Amino acid sequence: MPLWAQLHADLRRRVDTGEFTTAFPGELALIEQYAVSRHTVREALRRLRDEGVVVAERGRQPRLAGTPEIEQPLGALYSLFAAVEAAGQDQHSIVRRLDIRADGVVAVRLGLEESTPLLYLERLRLSDGEPLAVDRVWLPAHVAAPLLDADFSHTALYTELAARCGIRLTGGRENIRAVVPTRAERAQLGIDDTVAAFAIERLSEHHGQPLEWRTTLVRGDRFSVTAAFTARTGYRLDVTGPAPRQRRRPHAATLTETR
């Protein structure tokens, strides 16, 4: 068997035994582990990609097909911006709406009169240039009006809220559920009808007072949520951002070329 075929077979074996549940090794790691050329590695990855086993794109870390790229531990006040950046990906947003408007339903959720002016921010969130989420946020205008001058193409809402309005959210509650996106939503997220999504609703508070209502639709193939738990303490919510990728010990393998 040629070297690429031996590498391909061994990687398939390792995938089948569940060795790459945390992360799939990149090209340089495979070159080092197997002592083969970049061409050999790329040919083996190409075969795995053609078989639908991995997603291997130029300039990006290979990953198992169906494995979300962004992992977010559950917890109050986590930031999608921070989660994307922590995953080593470029975060960018297309701002679709940033204005002051009235919304009676949202105002009631925030404990306000229905006619209360609200700041509304709608963004298409991108990760490495690809659609990741559609994000919509409402805040009381009398508090959040300074945000009208912010450039939300590459910044976090909570960062701007603290810097421009002097407010840091202190808690809240969130509901996450799996949904089947509509045709219009699939078009916005750049997905087909085989991909589901997470619908996230968040009501955030500032010292017990509702301040933010947010709805987010996130692609299910690029995002996951996790929670740690023990028998003694139950679930432990982590708000520090995505868990770091674990580094595996090099796999001992020897490839020999036959002519």
- pLDDT of the chain along its 259 residues, tens only? 889 999 999 998 988 888 886 678 888 889 999 999 999 999 998 888 888 788 766 656 677 766 555 655 555 445 676 677 666 777 889 999 999 999 999 999 999 999 999 999 999 999 888 899 999 999 999 999 999 999 999 888 999 999 999 999 988 888 888 999 999 999 999 888 888 999 999 999 999 999 999 999 999 888 877 776 666 656 554 433 333 333 344 444 545 444 3
- Contacts of 105 by beta carbon, 8 Å cutoff, 6+ apart: none
Q: How far from chain centre, in Å, is Cα 170?
A: 23
Task: For 96, list phi and psi in degrees, rounded to 5.
Answer: -95, -35
Confidence at residue 59, expressed as pLDDT on a 0 to 100 scale:
58
d(CA 96, CA 190): 16
Residue 42 contacts residue 36 (beta carbons within 8 Å): no
Q: Any residues with CB less than 8 A from the CB of 40 and at least 6 apart, and which?
A: 3, 4, 7, 34
pLDDT, residue 237, reads 47
What is the structure's pLDDT at 76? 40
What integer pLDDT is reported at residue 68 of this predicted model? 56
38: alpha, beta or left? (left if phi > 0; alpha if psi -120 to 50): alpha
Structure tokens at 18: 């569940």
Position 244 scores a pLDDT of: 37
Residue of 67, 55, 34 whose CA lies nearest to 251: 34
CA dihedral (126, 128, 132, 134) in degrees, to 10, reads: 0
Contact predicate 176/199, CB 8 Å: yes
Contact 197, 181 (CB under 8 A): yes
Instruction: State if pTM tops 0.85.
Output: no
- CA separation for the pair 60, 63 (Å, rounded): 9
